[in-house]
Amino acid sequence: MPSIFIEDNPLYHNKVKWVMQIISQYAHTTYEYVLDKNQSNISVGSSTAYDIKIDDSFFEKLKNERTKWKEILPDGPIYKNECGEESLLETIFYLVNCIQEMNPDPEDIDHYGRFKYSASLQFHYGIIEENFVGHLIDQLILQFPILSLDGNLPQVKSKFYISHDIDILLSGWKIEGYLALKQFKWGLLLKVIWDTIRRKPFYNNIDQVIELDKKNGITPCFYWLASHGKDPNGIMNADYTIEDLNIQCQKVKSHGFESGIHKSSFETTFHQEIAHFPFKVEHNRYHFLKFQTHSAWKEIEAAGLKTDASLGFAEHIGFRNSYGLPFVPFDVENDRPYSFVEIPLHVMDVTLMQYMGLNAETADKRLRMFTEKNKNQCILSVLWHNNSFSNYQKDLNTLFEGYVNCFKVQDLYNLGVNKIFEDHQINDIQNRVTEKRI
Ligand SMILES: [Zn+2]
């Protein structure tokens, strides 16, 4: 087991140790932290006397809330110290923890209060579909082979995580009628009217979704809304009642699948919404991806949740924090890791057609390219809403089955949300980063 010495400087000691823990998880190994530099394989500190040199001024900037990427990463996505040398540990800390989102300007935030993809460094440097942090860790391992299990670059096959946000169960006829009308599909419009008269359920299709997942060997998580109606921004929340939620959750549970909260876009707290659930709520995704990362992380921890699966851009597929694996975020204010696992979101059904403007064929190609590029060292998280399995507009349904088949062909396995949580050893990360240094 490699032993690592980190200089005892309160400005960055815990942060650097957190980065080393991220590297050890990526490399599928563990490190020992030693208090005597002479007993270490690798030493990290702020002068050239150490194997890896830390740049104090980077952490000073963060402390002084100078967090914008235009200042920290003005020439490219890798941080450089005053001598122009690439500082990889600092870059990993900055990217994985979404530090660019800490003090946003009003123009970086959209109408709904979300950090815009177009304001991000990933957009500016064109790296949204790259596991860029994974490449930086590879670069470190090439410099210090002892950081990996066998001295080689880790090449573990990626896995995938499937989830379903349940926004609409009852009012699907309105949406399907509108879509048929907009696309001049008169036959389809007649079918919608006929089915509405017959009171046929449109998106009340949880049974169908469960069957499809079972057929494909998927262990999904379903995220449910406990708040009903439109918020002041015009975002529609659940069209179903708490009673419906109770019935549907039981159904999901009886098949051995997980459920979590889909935090509404209202100002209500997790505590208030969780009170409506018929089970212990441990997992979250924000509805409409309406959250601001750093305040959201505080809310998630305060609610005592195990995981959050929201970290993605609605506007584009890919890596919002440039990293392909789930992680325990670092609480900069309290200088310690948080107590939950963030499972970043990489692919959402509505992103492909609504935001990126792709058709079924180009979306399929794009997903295959993205997966091929990231077939190692990632856990790819995919969100398909229940209404995308509609019998009316079949494109998204077909796209889902095609994508799941693409995972199968590549031999990539599916993971459930609890397994992802277990694999990320929160206690270990918290204890190791904050253990006494005397
Ligand atoms: Zn939603």
Q: Distances from the Cα of 43 to the Cαs of 6, 62, 239, in angstroms? A: 6, 23, 56
Count up the domains in the chain and report the number: 2
**Is residue 178, in this structure, part of any structural domain at all?**
no
C-alpha of residue 287 to centroid of ligand 1, in Å: 4
Q: Is residue 180 part of a domain?
A: no
**In sequence order, which ranges of 41-171 are alpha helices (DSSP H)?**
56-63, 69-72, 88-96, 121-124, 132-143
Task: List CB contacts of 177: < 8 A, sequence separation 6 or more.
Answer: 189, 192, 193, 196
Amino acid at 361: E
Residue 270, domain member (yes or no)? yes
Classify residue 155 as exposed, middle or buried by CB count within 10 Å of its CB (0-12, 13-18, 19+): exposed
- How far is Cα 283 from Cα 223, in angstroms, rounded to an integer? 8
Confirm whether 49 is domain-assigned.
yes
The phi and psi torsions of 336 (rounded to 5 degrees) equal -160, 160
118: which residues sit within 8 A by CB, 6+ positions away?
315
Q: Are strands 413-414 and 159-166 parallel, antiparallel or unpaired?
A: parallel
Environment of ion ligand 1 (residues, CB < 5 A): 165, 167, 287
Q: Centre a 10 Å sphere on the Cβ of residue 168 and count the other Cβ atoms it contains.
A: 21
Q: Quick check: is 43 in a domain? A: yes
Q: What is the pLDDT of residue 394?
A: 73
Which domain does 353 fall in, by range? 159-169+204-428
Tell me: do 370 and 330 sit in the same domain.
yes
- Domain-ending residue, one of 120, 154, 188: 154
Distance 411 CA to ligand 1 centre (A): 30
Ligand 1 mean position to 236 CA, how many Å?
A: 9
Rounded CA-CA distance 303/261 in Å is 11
How many residues are there in the chain? 438
Residues 29 and 138 in one domain: yes
Indicate whether 63 belongs to any domain.
yes
pLDDT at 438: 47
Q: What is the four-CA torsion angle of 185, 186, 190, 195, rounded to 10 degrees? A: 0
Give the DSSP letter of residue 100. G
Percent of residues in the chain assigned helix, strand, coil, to nearest 5: 40, 15, 45
What's residue 201's pLDDT? 67
Same domain, 256 and 271: yes
Residue for token digits 């549907």? 248
- Contacts of residue 83, defined as CB under 8 A and 6 or more positions apart, other chains included, come to none
- Residue 191 burial (10 A CB sphere; 0-12, 13-18, 19+): middle
Same domain for 127 and 164, yes or no, is no
pTM: 0.94
Same-domain pairing of 382 and 308: yes
- 215 and 144, same structural domain? no
Written as tens digits, the pLDDT of the chain (438 aa) is: 899 999 999 999 999 999 999 999 999 999 999 999 999 999 999 999 999 999 999 999 999 999 999 999 999 999 999 899 999 999 999 999 999 999 999 999 999 999 999 999 999 999 999 999 999 999 999 999 999 989 999 999 999 999 999 999 887 667 777 777 787 888 777 776 777 777 776 677 899 999 999 999 999 999 999 999 999 999 999 999 999 999 999 999 999 999 999 999 999 999 999 999 999 999 999 999 999 999 999 999 999 999 999 999 999 999 999 999 999 999 999 999 999 999 999 999 999 988 999 999 999 999 999 999 999 999 999 999 998 887 776 788 889 999 999 999 888 999 999 999 999 876 667 677 777 654
Determine the distance separating the centroid of ligand 1 and the alpha carbon of 151, expressed in angstroms: 43
- Between the CA of 167 and the centroid of ligand 1 the distance, in Å, is 5
Is 11 within the bounds of a domain?
A: yes
Judgement on whether residues 48 and 125 belong to the same structural domain of the protein: yes
One domain for residues 134 and 211: no
CA 310 to centroid of ligand 1, rounded, Å: 10
Ligand 1 mean position, distance from CA 85 (Å): 43
CA distance 154 to 152: 6
pLDDT value, residue 437: 58
Distance 263 CA to ligand 1 centre (A): 8
Asked whether residue 140 falls in the same domain as residue 165, the answer is no
**Does 150 share its domain with 284?**
no
Q: Is residue 191 part of a domain?
A: no
Are 302 and 402 found together in one domain?
yes
Hey, what are 99's tokens?
């530090």
d(CA 405, CA 402): 5
121 with 103, same domain? yes
Phi, psi of 34 (to 5 degrees): -110, 155
